[in-house]
Structure 1
Amino acid sequence: MYLTTYIQCLRITMFIFFTFTLNVRLRSVFMCFLSFVFESSVDELFVNN
């Protein structure tokens, strides 16, 4: 019980830590990934149509 609570708190803390420290880098990587997926999906849509 205590162990699962501790792991949950640790996970939330790590998530907040990574979100605040790597926010810019993650956002840039995520935007690159989103643009890549969106462009590829758009290309597939145009090719299919």
Structure 2
Amino acid sequence: MKISKMNWVYIIAALITLVGLITGKYFFLFFAIPFGFNWFKSKKEE
């Protein structure tokens, strides 16, 4: 079963939310996981 990029984003967001609910450290976790803007662009623009 192949997991798409958007599904990975949802999984990571769910993990951040769960850890944030437990520890109360939401803001730090968003900076700890760097997402590049080019990560969401399609590969067809080469």
Q: Normalising to structure 1: TM-score of the pair?
A: 0.41
Larger Rg computed on CA atoms: 1
**Greater relative contact order: 1 or 2 (C-alpha under 8 angstroms, separation 6 or more)?**
2
